[in-house]
Amino acid sequence: GQNIDQPTEMTATEGAIVQINCTYQTSGFNGLFWYQQHAGEAPTFLSYNVLDGLEEKGRFSSFLSRSKGYSYLLLKELQMKDSASYLCAAKDNYGQNFVFGPGTRLSVLP
């Protein structure tokens, strides 16, 4: 079966660091993607991992462990505009489809 799990909600303070975890089980594996979605808007791509390790893009980093079926998104120097939902998605080999988790709603407080 296919299953993606991530926490429903998180709260953090402006300027802090937050880590959003994601565990996945998919039929085959062709990459782990993170998206940001502000309320009422479309998801936008943040990062991609297919090999184990850390990928860094400015204030955002994403980590993958394929053997553990685990990823996290790390957001540093949080800003108010980072308040959004963060979607974890795994791409399977079979249909080249993206399987999304329920999303983690992050609230950044002043």
Q: Which residues bind another protein (CB under 8 A)?
A: 8, 30-31, 33, 41-45, 48, 50, 87, 89, 91, 95-103
> Shortest Cβ distance from residue 37 to another protein (Å)?
9
> Shortest Cβ distance from residue 16 to another protein (Å)?
25
Shorter beta-carbon distance to another protein: residue 2 or 13: 2
Shorter beta-carbon distance to another protein: residue 15 or 95: 95
Shorter beta-carbon distance to another protein: residue 19 or 94: 94
> Shortest Cβ distance from residue 98 to another protein (Å)?
6
Q: What is the DSSP letter of 81?
A: G
Shorter beta-carbon distance to another protein: residue 40 or 110: 40
In whole angstroms, give the CA distance from residue 35 to residue 102.
12
Is 94 buried (19+), middle (13-18) or exposed (0-12) by CB count in 10 A?
exposed
The two three-digit tokens of residue 97, written as one number: 């489809």
> Shortest Cβ distance from residue 15 to another protein (Å)?
29
Question: How far apart, in Å, are the Cα atoms of 76 and each of 2, 17, 20, 33, 55?
Answer: 30, 4, 12, 18, 14
Q: How many CB atoms are located within 10 Å of the residue 50 CB?
A: 13
